[in-house]
Amino acid sequence: MTKIDDRYGALQLFIAGEWLGAEGRVTEPVLNPATGEPVGLLPHASAADLDRATAAAETAFASWRRVPAYDRAMILRKAANLLRERADHIGRRMTLEQGKPFAEARMEALISADIFDYTADEGRRTYGRIVPARVPGMRWMVTREPVGPVAAFTPWNFPAVIPARKISAALATGCTMVIKPSEETPASVMELARALDDAGLPKGVLNVVYGVPGEVSERLIAAPEIRKITFTGSTSVGQQLAILAAKAGVKRATMELGGHAPVMIFADADVDAAVQALAGAKFRNAGQICIAPTRFYIHEAVHDRFVEGFAAAAEKLKVGDGMDPATTMGPLANPRRITAMQALVEDAVNHGASLRLGGEALGNRGNFFAPTILTDVPDTARIMNEEPFGPIAVTARFQSLDEVIHQANRLPFGLASYAFTRDSATAQALSDRVEAGMLGINNTMINMPETPFGGVKQSGYGSEGGTEGMDAYLVTKTISQS
């Protein structure tokens, strides 16, 4: 068991119900994004550890699938309560490894608890059905069964909420799981597993492993015990994993991939309300959110007014260490994001965009980047086509509904989208014609445990959350009985 920063705590693997430390294993440091200093040493799972994890998931599946849904729900609900009790502790660990302000991190622990609760109950409602038979005396039934042991891969931006969605839906439906969270934010998932372990989860139902991502995913996906994979991250990695899943035996997959959310602000919009909602949504988690508002298409009549208000709101942000209570925007999660932001800003300016605010790294340690606004950005700039995944908003002007819908649908992504208008015909046209998994009209609240989260086009396939989120872990069986 190795720890460096006492506030952060130890890092371990969780395999077959055992917590395993660094003994004899390769380790890698986990860095605090606010300082660049190590806070902990993360043990990597060896090949033997990975094999033990998949074997444990298979053994546990045989009994976990037979545990009544009610009893599975009770364990998830008990774990949810433990997450609530531990929200301060979990929030602290998350801020130290991911950078987001402590209040946001603590809230993420509470939202994870809420997701556990919702999904636990939804697991009790995964009914089959009886279909009227065509032949007298015959009975047709459709039952739903858990798909089997699942391999899950999760990123660093929401290190508790994204795993919470996958873990809770798998466990509530009777599946078991081996999860490989991001090596950059390992403690948050460990806390979810700890709560489930303390709530009485049987050994092997959930296993947590870390390592070199490409090596771990290749081994887990190929393992014969694994029946399904689920991934959240970039489209390019998702594509690689989908190929591996297909080659390993046409394994089922859920893919939550990149986005590039358009925001359409019409001439009749409540501009002040739009500024308020969008400033919050854009800079939360320093913009490192796949549903972050990104391309701001603003009607030319209100463009300048919106930009002034938005810049004023962005200027009020206090960028700093997430452990400082005054901080409202933390550092970026890793130095790769700083390099990416700098390159995107430079490219946009070279293409003729105007830099209205920010545009540069801040301070001389940690991964801080200023809230940034680029206006009148042409379609040819990289940032109009590649997901920035950072605190940069880009604007362009439009004149007509058709023109802005064309822009919204122009990219091969279709995850989140937003619009601000007071006109119900416009709202209806957008509802019908925007290619996206989620559309927020006059608000940015598009992601609740009760609703499906997922994209179209290269943003992936399958949903998490809502009743749809359970489908990912269930297979159907039709039984005709005479």
Q: At closest approach, how far in Å is the CB of 157 from ligand NAD?
A: 4
Q: At closest approach, how far in Å is the CB of 422 from ligand NAD?
A: 32
Q: What's 135-159 look like in SS3?
A: CCCCEEEEEEEECCCEEEECCCCCC
Q: Looking at 256, 387, 435, 464, which residue is catalytic?
A: 256
Identify whether 256 is a catalytic site residue: yes
- Which residue lies nearer to ligand NAD by CB, 162 or 430? 162
Identify whether 290 is a catalytic site residue: yes
Alpha-carbon radius of gyration of the chain: 23
Q: At closest approach, how far in Å is the CB of 346 from ligand NAD?
A: 17
Residues ≥6 apart with Cβ < 8 Å to 256: 162, 230, 231, 232, 233, 290, 453, 454, 455, 459, 460, 462, 464
Residues ≥6 apart with Cβ < 8 Å to 68: none
Q: Are 154 and 189 in contact (CB under 8 A)?
A: yes
Q: At closest approach, how far in Å is the CB of 204 from ligand NAD?
A: 22
- Which residue lies nearer to ligand NAD by CB, 28 or 435? 28
Q: At closest approach, how far in Å is the CB of 220 from ligand NAD?
A: 9
- Which residue lies nearer to ligand NAD by CB, 186 or 204? 186
Question: Which residues sit at the interface with ligand NAD, rule CB under 6 A?
Answer: 153, 155-157, 182, 213-214, 217, 232-234, 237, 240-241, 256-258, 290, 336, 387, 389
DSSP secondary structure letter of residue 329: B
Q: Are 431 and 446 in contact (CB under 8 A)?
A: no
Q: Looking at 122, 191, 290, 464, which residue is catalytic?
A: 290
Q: What's 53-82 look like in SS3?
A: HHHHHHHHHHHHCCCCHHHHHHHHHHHHHH
Q: Are 134 and 152 in contact (CB under 8 A)?
A: no
- Which residue lies nearer to ligand NAD by CB, 158 or 306? 158
Q: At closest approach, how far in Å is the CB of 317 from ligand NAD?
A: 21
Q: What are phi and psi of 8, to 5 degrees?
A: -85, -45
Residue 155's Cβ-count burial label (10 Å; 0-12, 13-18, 19+) is buried
Among residues 42, 47, 60, 28, the alpha carbon closest in space to that of 218 is found at 47
- Which residue lies nearer to ligand NAD by CB, 217 or 395? 217
Please give the single-letter amino acid code of residue 243: I
- Which residue lies nearer to ligand NAD by CB, 153 or 461? 153
Report the distance separating Cα 448 and Cα 450, nearest Å.
5
Catalytic residues: 256, 290
